[in-house]
Amino acid sequence: MSKKENIVIIGAGLCGSLLALRLAQRGYKVSMYESRPDLRTTDISAGRSINLALSDRGFKALRLCGVEEKARDICIPMYGRLMHDREGNTFASSYSGREGEYINSISRGDLNGILLTEAEKHENVTIHFNTECTSVDIENTVAYFKDYNTKEEFSVDGDVIFGTDGAGSALRKSYYLERKFLFSYSQNFLTHGYKELEIPADTLGSHQISKEHLHIWPRGEYMLIALPNLDGSFTVTLFLSYDEGEYNFNNLTSEEKITEFFEKEFSDALELIPCIKDEFLNNPTGALGTVKCSPWHYQNKTLLLGDAAHAIVPFYGQGMNASFEDVTVFDTILDEHEGDWGATFKAYEKARKEDTDAIADLAIDNFYEMRDHVANPLFKQKRKLEMDLEKTFPTEYFSKYSMVTFNEEIPYAEAMKKGRAQDKALLNMVAHHDLDVITDLNEVLKKVQEETNEILEEDKIAGFK
């Protein structure tokens, strides 16, 4: 493995640009190709989530590459969820019982721009925009491209090719079309899609509702969420079935029907979205899907990272963080196997696959939690108990959410396994009214820990991972 090798990265989004930056810092020559225009000079946000939730795993990767503080400068801290019911009442739920634990709303485009700029500071990095990858010859590591500006079609020989080109990855497509090896692939869509709207800033440029929360309007079969932006606006996302229920994307086609839907279900939000009809009718409806595949690599020549390997739905706020963590894990593996790409790729996938499968499953779980359970009285009691335990025993008790979001050293798979067991133990206590008898939090903690361990042991005996 020579640092003179030509590394080709397909896709200059968040994962690709961070990977390019890290490889450049390690001395590799990197050429990155992106189908979209340069987002630093062109607005290309339409149809994509323009703000995301950045948390500890993402910051760890940014810290590795020396750009953590630049990212923090454009973050808005969100300390918990603020739920809105149909009557306009709100109730808050903190993300953690410990001080200093919160997630951050951040602009996708601004963060991507920071990473591209930092990568370009290295002489050994070149970035090509408006250049779509059409296919990859994985046997000979040749990537084929089309330049949108010149209409020219050309090929690039790479010593190693990384696919960080998202859920529609051209490299992943070439894996199963070329049939060079046994490749497993699944892409599962939710029956729900999403549409983005906007709560603008007030006349003074300030946020009209609390900027310290992620806002949720849970309605069972659908929901609305809102994340704050630095300019005082909120990006609002409606998650709704395509064709099921009284209201769905297929039948909300007239201004009258749209108004009826929002007046009935989200009246307080409707008052804040002045352009609801135009935005609803003109903004695209996006799909929500999970991608799992294996293997991620072909011999010592190509590797998938980020959404190209493991796209997930957005309901745990971990899509970007998981992709950034890919770079952290890959960098650690590279320390161990530098000089042998084949060994590096194999060890990386072995270290990472179980965790990315876990966060994909957790994201689906959280879809139902945010849509249905956050308004359930039993869930509220359970969540309050968790906050009390974290506040009283900050080094002894960590909720599933805290393990996933604020404990970057705990693998996703471990957080899922232990977190699910804890959730079951806590819900059993709440449902069985154990708290009517046990009022001492020390006793509560002891009982939760005992029942959690029993559930984990039962799962182990049953053969659950």
pLDDT digits (tens, 9 = 90+) for 119-137: 999 999 999 999 999 999 9
In which band, very low, low, confident or very high, does the pLDDT at 340 lie, cut at 50, 70 and 90?
A: very high
**Backbone φ/ψ region at 174: left (φ over 0), alpha (ψ -120 to 50), beta:** alpha
User: What local confidence, expressed as pLDDT, does residue 430 receive?
Assistant: 87
Spatial separation of the C-alpha atoms in residues 81 and 94, rounded to whole Å = 6
Residue 1 has pLDDT above 60, yes or no: no
* Average pLDDT of the residues of the chain: 93
User: What local confidence, expressed as pLDDT, does residue 46 receive?
Assistant: 45
The residue whose two tokens read 């991972």 is: 465
Strand partners, 218: 223
Mention every residue, 6+ apart, whose C-beta is less than 8 A from residue 331.
Answer: 22, 26, 64
Q: Which two tokens stand for residue 277?
A: 């009809």
Q: Which amino acid would we find at residue 157?
A: D
Q: Dump pLDDT digits (tens) for 172-211.
A: 999 999 888 999 999 999 999 999 999 999 999 999 999 9
**Secondary element (H or E) of residue 302:** strand 302-304
Average of per-residue pLDDT across 223-249: 96
Which range, of 11-15, 53-57, 175-179, 418-422, averages the lowest pLDDT? 175-179
Spatial separation of the C-alpha atoms in residues 303 and 164, rounded to whole Å = 9
In which band, very low, low, confident or very high, does the pLDDT at 316 lie, cut at 50, 70 and 90?
A: very high
Mention every residue, 6+ apart, whose C-beta is less than 8 A from residue 335.
Answer: none
Contact 183, 175 (CB under 8 A): yes
Q: Dump pLDDT digits (tens) for 43-66.
A: 765 445 578 999 999 999 999 999
User: What local confidence, expressed as pLDDT, does residue 461 receive?
Assistant: 82
Q: Dump pLDDT digits (tens) for 288-302.
A: 999 999 999 999 999
Residue 460 has pLDDT above 50, yes or no: yes
Domains and CATH numbers, the chain: 6-64+108-186+289-366 (3.50.50.60), 376-462 (no CATH)
Average of per-residue pLDDT across 210-216: 97
Q: Which amino acid would we find at residue 84?
A: H
User: What local confidence, expressed as pLDDT, does residue 333 receive?
Assistant: 98
Residue 6 has pLDDT above 90, yes or no: no
b/e burial code for range 146-172 (CB count within 10 A of at least 16 → b) = eeeeeeeeeebebbbbbbbbbbebbbb
CA 456 vs CA 6, 365, 420, 442, 449: distances in Å: 47, 19, 9, 21, 10
